């Protein structure tokens, strides 16, 4: 009697990987169909509505790009930390802090600065505040070995509470018409938009960051050390690499990228600090990074894909009155299936004759 | 501060910490076996939703609790398959489950927002609840809280005085030794991860059927994550978990009292940050004190998949 | 207690790439201490893992008291009365003694009756002269005491055959006496003890019967009375190795590149790993430190290469104190670690990245890594060292052991080192790769001094100018490889037997 056995392969062939993605996408959409049924909706109609919401018009496609911008930045943020096995779950909070930092410049420093200097300063402020917020957790990890997942998470809640305090309280727009938030940013503090769409300069930031990160990881000394520390900590030690310092810089960079996402939202979309800044991009960034296996180029693609799901979900809400959070469900399910296919592509089923 | 205020604070502390307690004990069980389950927040929310939905449909609280445990148990099973059988990265799996749970509960629960259904009402225990001061505080609560009173000593007893607990702890500390001794490592881990998920769901059901009550998107506000941190503070011991969650409850109570009395000791937004800052603080203190002892209190195989031998 | 005769017939066990046990026959009589002797890799532990149910044999049979048995797990074997105390103790550190003894027992099934268990453990301990406190936590006990707990576990389950894998490796001399007393007591009751070891004086002291394994085969099966001398046993164990033909041209000696004076160091647990170590490696020579694994060499190399510190003594690298020479000194040391895949390379990265591992600082300019140049160097290295690989973009884990080692060698040699430290450089390699590595190391004598750490005598004889034998953390003797009398003493020295 022959028995089947799973044998591990050292390097899964490319075709398997992509095939795995394909299967995962199909499976995830099937699961989504089940969820729609549970909510009492016709899956086909639902998916059709989503597709229409994405591809229906150029405006819709632009909206996908708009949503992809913070996803790219947050995905890159997660990826940078994950490269050395740090889990930065605090993208949400760092995004918020970045928005706060940028807003501080926009609201209080902008009047005193030449117009051309406002945006660059905001960028720097956003990067710094986001980076420092993440660095807090990084320091606790490097010096005191405190679990960074929990600290970054807790800091998310703190950040959001602080944000609410600011735009409900001291920074509230005195002339606001009910919708809570700060005053609108002056023109000099608004990110330029592309050709009449809602796509703002953040797209340049996101793509630049992706390209820079890709280049840095493969061509700089820092990138090399990151890769070795992440891949083989023991080999990194053997090679005498500065592990603690790398942890701190990675967290700072990670938070900074998320902070830029926050600035993008505040200064490119809302033009103020308001409710609606923290809508989950930080968490979705984790999924984007995981789907792309931490590859900066893949993150851009994954971000677009997920953004499509999000936009489609919003359409679903408008047209079929189903909650837009179906997007989260689809993304998480997709990730699970990708993880599963990951593991199966590493194995090969072979026959083994039993020993006598 | 008079006795009445003290009683009030204690009552709030107990009531607001029960859900975290359930989730913490559940996570202690899972982690004692070596499985890190980060999906607690998602399981709590799904438990809250299913409990509420079932109670709404059947008008039965008991069925609601059962449904909550079944659904969160199912999520825990998924985590088990990925973490135990497939040996996948437990952090990524857990986080994905959390996000899935948060999103799914938000999606499916939309029609139930604002609805009202049966809820647990206080069941004062005769005689005990007439005791001065502490009587009403401790013994005039809703049934799930009494369950919590029983859960802590029961968990301690199971962990340290039964064979099942011995096996669980052995699997978490040294799966190779447990395997050699003939204990099924995977089976043990599955069982207790499932148990942990169900307790998390129970905690969620307490929120929607007793504490709040009702269903609201994201109603646990991070208590699932706090539970995970609480496990570290508890040094994986149920009694310390009870202490930790009670302290957490006291922080909540402090926040409520100050806000209600409009005592401007601290601005209200800072008050609301207290639970989270408190969590970071206990993490730092706990990690520092155990780190200096050169051996971690965590189960040695936590988060590490186990592979059998030839 | 039934006395069981145990017979293994034709036991064969294969692992990927190595035949650990080659059709081994072994008979274990009741009431005896049976010693299983051999050097590392001889197959002793694998054989006993098969006997104790941890591994399943690829071929062969086990019979207990005349009945054929098949063990699917260690628990199965225990039911037939066979239990093993592994070198790496299978104890749960944070649990108590009693809890460890209770682990895996069929009864009691639900409630742990701690008091009864404590009493049982205590009475068992007294009976066999193995005093332990049932309440003590395992990680608070000494290794010797922990070992007692492992033995108690087996006795609690009525094991008739107790297999001990290198039990004295972790014991002080006093504890060894205690252990032997216990073993004699057990054997008087009719039980059998299988004692795996590489230490000859112990074998002569305690064994009733001796089986010598070498490279997975039985090479001798005798009683102590039949042994002429320990030296003979040592030679049986280690074999008369054929020195492979490697060209050794004479090379002029230079200044010492590494000097150790009375150095001592500790292991990870804080115990003394080596002491009174003094030697010098000169430019142009190969000094080998030879010994059975676990005698302090790993810690010594770690201290020399900077992974840990010496706790006392003086160490000079290129004439300056170790650690003070700065970057230049560090870069002039080529270190080939024992752990090829875990430490010496990053399996998931490509070959160029691996070549850069200890040389990357040279390719950095203003933070930029000159990967193209590194890539070209990698290609050259691959060609020069005849590393079989698809190209520099291949992942390190795709290389075979031999090719990976050649890559590591290429990397370390590209630093133009003046001191080369090589740990078990040909461990697990086939003959072809082995000879290539040896040739290269010998060629380096004209540029550096080489410190070789190895347990493979063939390698030591092929490469060394001088040999130092290490045993229990101390150098037993240092001599020239050209001295035939001294060379004949190596086996005994490795086993702790000094010149009689």
Is the sign of the CA dihedral A308, A310, A312, A318 positive or negative? negative
Candidate from A286, A290, A329 with C-beta closest to B103:
A329
Contact B82 A140 (CB under 8 A): no
The strand ranges marked E within C354-448 are 364-365, 368-369, 419-423
Residue B199 placed within a domain: yes
What pLDDT shows up at residue C457?
78
Contact B181 C73 (CB under 8 A): no
Tell me whether C18 touches chain B (CB under 8 Å). no
Tell me whether B304 touches chain A (CB under 8 Å). no
- Alpha-carbon distance of C453 to C288, in angstroms, equals 6
Residue of A nearest to B271 (CA): A161
Average confidence (pLDDT) over A223-247: 92
Neighbour subunits, B (≥3 Cβ pairs < 8 A): A, C
Q: Are strands C286-290 and C466-471 parallel, antiparallel or unpaired?
A: parallel
Does A12 have pLDDT greater than 70?
A: no
What pLDDT shows up at residue A348?
59
- The DSSP secondary-structure symbol of C243 reads P
Please give the backbone phi and psi of residue C26, each rounded to the nearest 5 degrees, phi first.
-155, 135
Calculate the dihedral angle through the C-alpha atoms of A32, A36, A42, A44, rounding to the nearest 10 degrees.
-20
Tokens standing for residue A226:
């990151």
Residue B307 placed within a domain: no
Q: Pick C6-238's CATH classification: 3.40.50.1580, 3.90.1150.10, 3.40.50.300, 3.40.50.10190.
A: 3.40.50.300
What pLDDT shows up at residue C245?
52
- Alpha-carbon distance of B90 to B304, in angstroms, equals 8
pLDDT bracket for residue A353 (50, 70, 90): very low
What pLDDT shows up at residue A148?
92
Average confidence (pLDDT) over A179-199: 87
Residue of A nearest to B231 (CA): A150
- Alpha-carbon distance of B288 to B304, in angstroms, equals 23
Pick among B103, B219, B292 to test the A interface (most A CBs inside 10 A): B103
Tell me whether B222 touches chain A (CB under 8 Å). yes
The answer to whether C423 and C336 are in contact (CB under 8 A) is: yes
Burial of B228 (0-12, 13-18, 19+ CB in 10 A): buried
Pure H helices in C414-489: 431-443, 457-463, 484-488
CATH 3.40.50.300 fits C256-494, yes or no: yes
pLDDT bracket for residue A133 (50, 70, 90): very high
The answer to whether A192 and A204 are in contact (CB under 8 A) is: no
CB atoms within 10 A of CB C17: 9
The verdict on whether omega for the bond into residue B198 sits within 30 degrees of 0, i.e. cis, is no
The CATH number covering residue B172 comes to: 1.10.3470
- Alpha-carbon distance of C83 to A169, in angstroms, equals 72
Candidate from C75, C92, C108 with C-beta closest to B173:
C92
Phi-psi region of B111 (alpha: psi -120 to 50; beta: other; left: phi over 0): alpha
Q: Which residue shows structure tokens 């008091």?
A: C115
Chain A positions in Cβ-Cβ contact with residue C369 (cut-off 8 Å): 219-221, 223-224
Tell me whether A26 touches chain C (CB under 8 Å). no
Please give the backbone phi and psi of residue C294, each rounded to the nearest 5 degrees, phi first.
95, 15
Average confidence (pLDDT) over A7-29: 74
Helix (H) or strand (E) holding B274: helix B268-291
- The DSSP secondary-structure symbol of B100 reads H
Q: What domain range includes position B95? A: 3-114+136-291
For the stretch C85-95, pLDDT in tens is: 998 889 998 99
What pLDDT shows up at residue B310?
40
Does A345 have pLDDT greater than 70?
A: no
Positions of chain C with pLDDT under 70: 1-4, 40, 230-231, 238-247, 498-500
Q: Which B residues 118-137 touch A at CB under 8 Å?
A: none
Chain C positions in Cβ-Cβ contact with residue A221 (cut-off 8 Å): 360-361, 364, 367-369
Burial of C308 (0-12, 13-18, 19+ CB in 10 A): middle
Calculate the dihedral angle through the C-alpha atoms of A63, A69, A70, A71, rounding to the nearest 10 degrees.
90
Residue B257 placed within a domain: yes
Average confidence (pLDDT) over A36-51: 86
What pLDDT shows up at residue A71?
96
Q: Are strands C59-64 and C67-69 parallel, antiparallel or unpaired?
A: antiparallel
The answer to whether C103 and B183 are in contact (CB under 8 A) is: yes
Tell me whether B6 touches chain C (CB under 8 Å). no
What pLDDT shows up at residue B264?
65
- Alpha-carbon distance of A72 to A94, in angstroms, equals 14
Q: Which residue shows structure tokens 């005689």?
A: B127
Tell me whether A35 touches chain B (CB under 8 Å). yes
**Taking the mean position of all CA atoms in its chain, how far away is CA A40?**
31
For A6-30, letters b (16+ CB in 10 Å) and e give eeeeeebeeebeeebbebbbebbbe
Contact B178 C92 (CB under 8 A): yes
Tell me whether A218 touches chain C (CB under 8 Å). yes
What residues pair up with B73 in beta bridges, in sequence order? none
Q: Which residue shows structure tokens 């938009």?
A: A193
Tell me whether A145 touches chain B (CB under 8 Å). yes
Three-state helix/strand/coil letters over chain A:
CCEEEEEECCCCCHHHHHHHHHHHHHHHHHHHHHHHHHCCCCHHHHHHHHHHHHHCCHHHHHHHHHHHHHHHHHHHHHHHHHHCCCCCCCHHHHHHHHHHHHHHHHHHHHHHCCHHHHHHHHHHHHHHHHHHHHHHHHHHHHHHCCCHHHHHHHHHHHHHHHHHHHHHCCCECCCCCCCCEECCCCHHHCCCECCCCCCECHHHHHHHHHHHHHHHHHHEHHHHHHHHHHHCHHHHHHCCCCHHHHHHHHHHHHHHHHHHHHHHHHHHHHCCCECCCCCCHHHHHHHHHHHCCCCHHHHHHHHHHHHHHHHHHHHHHHHHCCCCCHHHHHHHHHHHHHHHHHHHHCEEEEEECCCC
What pLDDT shows up at residue B3?
81
Contact C346 A218 (CB under 8 A): no
* 3-state SS, residue C260: strand
Contact B96 A287 (CB under 8 A): yes
Candidate from B100, B110, B288 with C-beta closest to A144:
B288
**Taking the mean position of all CA atoms in its chain, how far away is CA C67?**
35
| pTM for this model (two decimals) | 0.84
Phi-psi region of C123 (alpha: psi -120 to 50; beta: other; left: phi over 0): alpha
What pLDDT shows up at residue C2?
47
Calculate the dihedral angle through the C-alpha atoms of C323, C329, C332, C335, rounding to the nearest 10 degrees.
10
Does A25 have pLDDT greater than 90?
A: no
Contact A154 B225 (CB under 8 A): yes
Chain A: closest CA distance from residue B156 (Å): 25
Chain B: closest CA distance from residue C299 (Å): 20
What pLDDT shows up at residue C326?
75
Contact C112 B178 (CB under 8 A): no
What pLDDT shows up at residue C100?
93
- Alpha-carbon distance of A145 to A137, in angstroms, equals 10
Chain B: closest CA distance from residue C10 (Å): 19
What pLDDT shows up at residue A267?
92
Contact A154 B221 (CB under 8 A): no
* 3-state SS, residue B64: helix
For A284-313, letters b (16+ CB in 10 Å) and e give bbbbbbbbbebbbebbbebbbbbbbbbbbb
In chain C, ranges of CATH 3.40.50.300 domains:
6-238, 256-494
Is the sign of the CA dihedral C164, C170, C176, C179 positive or negative? negative
What pLDDT shows up at residue A347?
62
- Minimal CA–CA distance to B78: which of B112, B130, B43? B43
What pLDDT shows up at residue B307?
78
- The DSSP secondary-structure symbol of C140 reads G
- Alpha-carbon distance of A39 to A36, in angstroms, equals 5
- Alpha-carbon distance of B36 to B90, in angstroms, equals 6
- Alpha-carbon distance of B297 to C78, in angstroms, equals 32
What pLDDT shows up at residue A354?
44
For the stretch B109-160, pLDDT in tens is: 988 999 999 899 888 888 888 888 788 888 889 999 999 999 999 999 999 9
Residue B170 placed within a domain: yes
Q: Give the gyration radius of chain B's Cα atoms.
A: 20
User: What is the ipTM metric for this complex?
Assistant: 0.85
Tokens standing for residue B288:
């520092």
Candidate from C56, C74, C108 with C-beta closest to B163:
C108
Positions of chain B with pLDDT under 50: 294, 310
- Minimal CA–CA distance to B173: which of B290, B296, B302? B302
- Alpha-carbon distance of B189 to B79, in angstroms, equals 11
- Alpha-carbon distance of C496 to A184, in angstroms, equals 84
- Alpha-carbon distance of A51 to A35, in angstroms, equals 17
**Percentage of residues in chain A having pLDDT higher than 90:** 50
Chain A positions in Cβ-Cβ contact with residue C347 (cut-off 8 Å): 231-232
How many structural domains is chain B composed of? 1
- Alpha-carbon distance of C26 to C62, in angstroms, equals 10
CA triple C315-C316-C317, angle to 5 deg: 125
For the stretch C13-22, pLDDT in tens is: 988 777 889 9
Tell me whether C366 touches chain A (CB under 8 Å). no
- Alpha-carbon distance of C440 to C385, in angstroms, equals 9
CB atoms within 10 A of CB A280: 19
Residue B269 placed within a domain: yes
Tokens standing for residue A188:
């000099």
- Alpha-carbon distance of C467 to C463, in angstroms, equals 10
Write the CA distances from A250 to A82, A232, A263, C164, integer angstroms: 9, 17, 20, 49
Q: Could you tell me how many CB contacts below 8 A there are between chain A and chain C?
A: 71
What pLDDT shows up at residue B309?
55
Chain B positions in Cβ-Cβ contact with residue A79 (cut-off 8 Å): none
Does A356 have pLDDT greater than 50?
A: no
For the stretch C214-248, pLDDT in tens is: 888 998 888 888 887 766 777 777 665 444 456 67
Contact B107 A331 (CB under 8 A): no
Chain C positions in Cβ-Cβ contact with residue A222 (cut-off 8 Å): 367
């Amino acid at each position: 009697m022959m028995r089947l056995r799973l044998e591990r392969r050292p390097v899964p062939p490319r075709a398997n990987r992509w095939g795995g993605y394909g299967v995962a996408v199909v499976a995830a959409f099937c699961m989504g169909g089940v969820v729609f049924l549970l909510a009492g909706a016709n899956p086909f109609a639902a998916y059709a509505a989503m597709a229409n919401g994405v591809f229906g018009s150029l405006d819709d496609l632009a909206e996908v790009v708009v949503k992809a911008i913070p996803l790219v930045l947050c995905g890159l943020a997660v990826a940078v930390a994950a490269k050395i096995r740090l889990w930065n779950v605090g993208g949400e909070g760092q995004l918020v802090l970045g928005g706060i930092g940028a807003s501080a410049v926009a609201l209080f420093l902008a009047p005193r600065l030449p117009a051309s200097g406002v945006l660059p300063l905001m960028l720097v402020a956003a990067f710094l505040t986001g980076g420092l917020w993440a660095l807090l957790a990084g320091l606790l990890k490097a010096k005191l070995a405190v679990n960074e997942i929990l600290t970054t998470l807790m800091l998310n809640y703190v950040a959001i509470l602080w944000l609410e305090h600011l735009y409900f309280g001291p920074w509230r727009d005195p002339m606001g018409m009910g919708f809570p938030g700060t005053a609108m940013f002056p023109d000099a503090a608004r990110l330029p938009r592309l050709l009449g769409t809602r796509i703002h300069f953040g797209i340049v930031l996101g793509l630049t960051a992706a390209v820079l990160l890709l280049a840095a990881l493969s061509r700089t000394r820092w990138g090399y050390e990151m890769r070795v520390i992440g891949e083989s900590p023991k080999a990194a030690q053997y090679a005498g690499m500065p592990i603690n310092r790398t942890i701190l810089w990675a967290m700072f960079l990670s938070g900074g990228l998320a902070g830029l996402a926050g600035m993008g939202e505040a200064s490119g979309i809302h033009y103020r600090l308001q409710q609606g800044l923290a809508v989950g991009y930080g968490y979705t960034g984790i999924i984007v990074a995981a789907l792309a296996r931490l590859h900066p180029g893949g993150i851009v693609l994954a971000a677009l894909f997920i953004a499509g799901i999000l936009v489609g979900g919003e359409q679903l809400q408008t047209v079929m009155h189903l909650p837009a959070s179906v997007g989260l469900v689809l993304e998480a399910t997709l990730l699970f299936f990708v993880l599963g296919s990951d593991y199966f592509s590493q194995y090969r089923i072979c026959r083994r004759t039993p020993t006598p | 501060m008079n006795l009445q205020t003290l009683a009030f604070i204690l009552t709030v502390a107990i009531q607001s910490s029960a859900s975290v307690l359930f989730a913490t004990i559940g996570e202690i069980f899972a982690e004692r076996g070596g499985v890190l389950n980060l999906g607690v927040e998602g399981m709590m929310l799904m438990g809250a939703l299913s409990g509420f939905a079932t109670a709404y449909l059947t008008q039965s609280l008991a069925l609601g609790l059962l449904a909550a445990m079944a659904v969160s148990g199912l999520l825990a099973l998924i985590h088990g398959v990925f973490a135990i059988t497939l040996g996948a990265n437990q952090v990524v799996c857990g986080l994905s489950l959390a996000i899935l749970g948060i999103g799914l509960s938000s999606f499916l629960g939309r029609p139930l927002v604002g609805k009202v259904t049966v809820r647990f009402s206080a069941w004062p225990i005769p005689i005990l609840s007439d005791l001065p001061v502490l009587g009403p505080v401790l013994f005039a609560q809703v049934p799930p809280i009494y369950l919590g009173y029983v859960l802590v000593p029961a968990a301690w007893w199971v962990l340290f005085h039964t064979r099942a607990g011995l096996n669980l702890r052995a699997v978490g500390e040294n799966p190779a030794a447990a395997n050699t001794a003939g204990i099924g490592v995977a089976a043990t881990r599955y069982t207790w991860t499932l148990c942990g998920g169900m307790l998390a769901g129970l905690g969620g059901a307490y929120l929607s059927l007793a504490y709040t009550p009702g269903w609201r998107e994201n109603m646990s506000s991070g208590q699932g994550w706090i539970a995970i941190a609480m496990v570290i503070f508890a040094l994986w011991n149920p009694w310390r978990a009870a202490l930790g969650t009670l302290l957490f409850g006291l922080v909540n109570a402090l926040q409520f009292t100050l806000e209600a009395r409009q005592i401007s000791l601290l601005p209200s937004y800072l008050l609301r940050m207290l639970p989270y800052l408190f969590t970071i603080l206990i993490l730092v203190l706990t990690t520092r004190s155990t780190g200096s002892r050169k051996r971690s209190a965590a189960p040695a195989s936590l988060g590490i998949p186990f592979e059998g031998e030839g | 207690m039934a006395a069981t005769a145990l017979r293994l017939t034709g036991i064969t066990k294969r692992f990927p790439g190595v035949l650990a046990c080659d059709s081994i026959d072994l008979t274990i009589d009741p009431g005896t201490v049976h010693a299983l002797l051999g050097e590392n890799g001889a197959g002793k532990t694998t054989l006993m893992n098969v006997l104790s149910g941890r591994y399943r044999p690829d071929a062969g049979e086990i019979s207990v008291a005349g009945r054929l048995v098949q063990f699917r797990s260690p628990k199965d074997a225990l039911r037939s009365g066979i239990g093993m105390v592994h070198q790496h103790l299978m104890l749960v550190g944070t649990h108590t003694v009693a809890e460890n003894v209770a682990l895996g027992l069929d009864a009691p099934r639900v409630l742990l009756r701690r008091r009864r268990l404590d009493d049982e453990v205590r009475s068992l301990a007294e009976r066999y002269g193995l005093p332990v406190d049932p309440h003590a936590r395992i990680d608070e006990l000494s290794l010797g005491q922990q070992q007692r707990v492992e033995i108690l576990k087996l006795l609690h389950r009525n094991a008739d055959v107790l297999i001990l894998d290198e039990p004295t490796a972790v014991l002080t001399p006093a504890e060894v006496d205690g252990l032997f007393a216990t073993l004699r007591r057990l054997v008087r009751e009719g039980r059998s003890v299988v004692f795996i070891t590489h230490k000859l004086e112990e074998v002569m002291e305690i064994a009733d019967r001796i089986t010598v394994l070498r490279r997975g085969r039985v090479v001798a099966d005798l009683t102590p009375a039949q042994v002429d001398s320990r030296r003979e046993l040592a030679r049986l164990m280690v074999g008369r190795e054929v020195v492979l033909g490697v060209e050794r041209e004479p090379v002029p000696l230079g200044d010492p590149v590494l000097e150790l004076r009375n150095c001592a160091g500790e292991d990870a647990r804080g115990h003394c790993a080596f002491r009174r170590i003094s030697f010098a490696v000169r430019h142009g020579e190969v000094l080998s430190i030879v010994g059975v694994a676990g005698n302090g060499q790993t810690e010594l190399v770690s201290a020399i290469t900077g992974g840990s510190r010496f706790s006392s003594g003086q160490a000079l690298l290129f004439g300056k104190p170790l650690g003070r020479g700065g970057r230049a000194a560090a870069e002039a040391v080529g270190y080939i670690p024992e752990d090829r895949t875990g430490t010496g390379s990053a399996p998931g990265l490509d070959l160029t990245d691996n070549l850069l591992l200890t040389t990357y600082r040279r390719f950095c300019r203003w933070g930029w890594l000159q990967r193209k140049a590194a890539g070209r160097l990698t290609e050259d290295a691959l060609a020069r060292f005849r590393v079989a690989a698809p190209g520099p973009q291949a992942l390190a884990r795709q290389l075979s052991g031999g090719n990976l080692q050649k890559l590591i060698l290429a990397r370390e040699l590209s630093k133009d080192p003046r001191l080369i430290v090589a740990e078990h450089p040909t461990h697990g390699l086939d003959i072809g790769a082995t000879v290539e590595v040896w040739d290269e190391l010998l060629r380096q004598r004209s540029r550096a001094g080489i410190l070789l750490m190895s347990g493979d005598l063939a390698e030591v004889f092929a490469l060394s100018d001088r040999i130092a034998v290490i045993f229990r953390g101390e150098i037993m003797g240092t001599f020239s490889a050209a001295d035939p009398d001294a060379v004949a003493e190596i086996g005994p020295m490795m086993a702790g037997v000094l010149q009689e």
